[in-house]
Amino acid sequence: MTVGSQVKTCHATLKSIEAGLDLLHASTSEYDLKHTIEEVTGLIKDARHDVHQQIIYMEKQEPQYKS
């Protein structure tokens, strides 16, 4: 597996985690749990954004990584 495909797999995994957290958030009524999920979701979104920026950078620098 190339570095490019590993980074893209990481991005997809982060999107999946974010979706799972959104479902969990919607299905619970416990305030403390909702608050924790919101905090973690924010961290995951930040990480996903950073990985996405890396994908853009890699695709500009190394055309072979372009989808």
- Model pLDDT, residue 53: 97
Calpha distance 21→27 (Å, rounded): 10
pLDDT of residue 65: 62
pLDDT at 56 over 90: yes
The per-residue pLDDT for 66 is: 67
Residue range 23-40: average pLDDT? Answer: 96
Compute the average pLDDT of residues 26-51. Answer: 97
The CA distance from 26 to 28, in Å, is: 6
What is the value of pTM for the model shown? 0.86
Provide the total of helices (H) and of strands (E) in the chain, helices listed first.
2, 0
Residue 67 has pLDDT above 70, yes or no: no
